[in-house]
Structures are given as structure tokens and as C-alpha cells.
Structure 1
Amino acid sequence: MFGDMMGMMGKLKETQQKVEETKKRLDTVSLEESSADGLVKVTITANREVKQIQIDDSLLEDKEQLEDFLILTLNKAITKATQVNEAELAAVAKEGMPNIPGMDSLFK
């Protein structure tokens, strides 16, 4: 039993290291999101760091419209990045978890 516990602890430590490596890798994954008409484009990492915002010149004349476009497009980009982030981290965590009955449903 003690050997099993040591093996599980080692596996959990290995999984934690893989999760940290995955977080670093997700800094290099870029996602793009655009407004419906393409007037605003946002580039964001899978760790939800905004890298670039492109705004069409036509939006510079209407502050309120620009703010609305930015909010909508940034929220869509953040949602997409969160989905990628959570899927990647869940896959790594599930891969490294010991086989404990009933725990497999937590990572579906």
C-alpha cells in the first residue's frame, strides 16, 4: 500500500510539472477573433493575454460604436481562449490522474 501511495505521489508531481509546461506553451498559442463585419480584430493567447487589436479607421469617428465593437470582440476572444486553455489543462490533468473509481467523471 505504501508503495502505491509513493507511486501516486510521484505521478501527481509529474502531472503538476506537465500542467506548468502546458501553461507556458499556451502563452505561445495565438487565437484571432473578429467582429462580425471584420472592423475590429483581436489576437489573444490561450492564456488570455491580449497581444494585438486592429481597428478599422472608419470606427475612429464614433467612440461609442468603437467601444461596443471592442467589448464584443474582446469577450468573444476571451471565451475562445478560455475554452482552449481549459481543454488543454484538463487533458493533461486527466492523463496524469491515478485510476480512482468515480473520479473519471470529473474530467469529462
Structure 2
Amino acid sequence: MFDKLNLGDLGKVLEEIQEKAKKIQEESESKIFTAKSGGGLVKVSANGKGEIVDIEIDDSLMEDKDSMQILLISAINDVLKMVEDEKKRVAMNLMSSTNPFGQ
């Protein structure tokens, strides 16, 4: 199995994989994910790094602190799940598209 393995070629392949992974990660981090809760009363956006970049709260919630908190928690959890799912998807795509053994 390993008798045809050229370590020089393997090094090149690993460098290519690393460069591809870096490019994919940068693209993923620049994406914006948005989740809504309460029928759109609360909207939370996060970038691919999982950083919250925007929160929109409908004016009707300003007098109902408890509802606002529940809807914020829900939207934040949803958007962070979206970011995590994207990270998993990117990792799986990277793994499936690279084969250092060339088979």
C-alpha cells in the first residue's frame, strides 16, 4: 500500500490541503447567518466565526422584557447552531475532497 508513496509529493499535497483549508475558512468566516424568532420580532445575525454582528428587536417588545429575553435566547441559539453546522459542513467537504494518497 505504501510502496508507491513519495514523501516529497505527500508534502506538496499537504501544503495544498492547508492552503485550501485556509481559503475555505476565510470564505466561511465572512458569511453572515441570520436567525429570527417570534415571527420575526427578534432577528440575530452572526458571522462565520460565531460573533454576533447585529441584533434587531421589534419596538413592540420594548415593554415586555420577559418575552424579549426568551426570543433573544432562542434566536441567538439558532444562529450559533447555523454557524456550527456550517463549520461541520466545510470540514466534511474539505475532508472528502482531499486524498493525500491520490487514490
Q: TM-score range by the shorter chain?
A: 0.7 to 0.9
Instruction: State the superposition RMSD in angstroms.
Output: 2.2
Counterpart contact for 1:26–1:46, Cα < 8 Å:
yes
1:8 aligns with 2:10: yes
Q: Residues 3-43 of structure 1, C-alpha deviation per residue, up to 9 Å, x if partnerless? A: 62221222112111211111111122112110041100011
Q: Is this contact kept in 1: 2:5–2:101, CA < 8 A? A: no
Scaled by the length of structure 1, the TM-score of the pair is 0.79
Corresponding residue for 1:34? Answer: 36
The DSSP-based 3-state class of the residue aligned with 2:100 is coil
**Residue equivalent to 1:75:** 77
Q: Which runs of 5+ in 2 are unaligned?
A: none
State how far apart, in whole Å, the 1-side matches of 2:43 and 2:15 are.
40
TM, length-normalised to structure 2: 0.82
Q: How many residues align?
A: 101
How far the C-alpha of 1:89 sits from its partner, in A, is 2.7
In the alignment, the residues of structure 1 paired with residue 101 and residue 4 of structure 2 have an alpha-carbon distance, to the nearest angstrom, of 16
Pairwise CA distance, 1:98? 2.0
What is the CA distance between 1:97 and its match in structure 2? Answer: 3.0
Q: What residue in structure 2 maps to residue 18 of structure 1?
A: 20
SS of corresponding position for 2:6:
helix
The residue correspondences of 1:58-73 to structure 2 (distance < 5 A) are: 58-73=60-75
SS in 2 for 1:37: helix
Deviations along 1:26-69, one digit per CA (max 9) or x if unpaired, are 12211211004110001122332211110011111122221111
Deviation >3 Å, runs of 4+: none
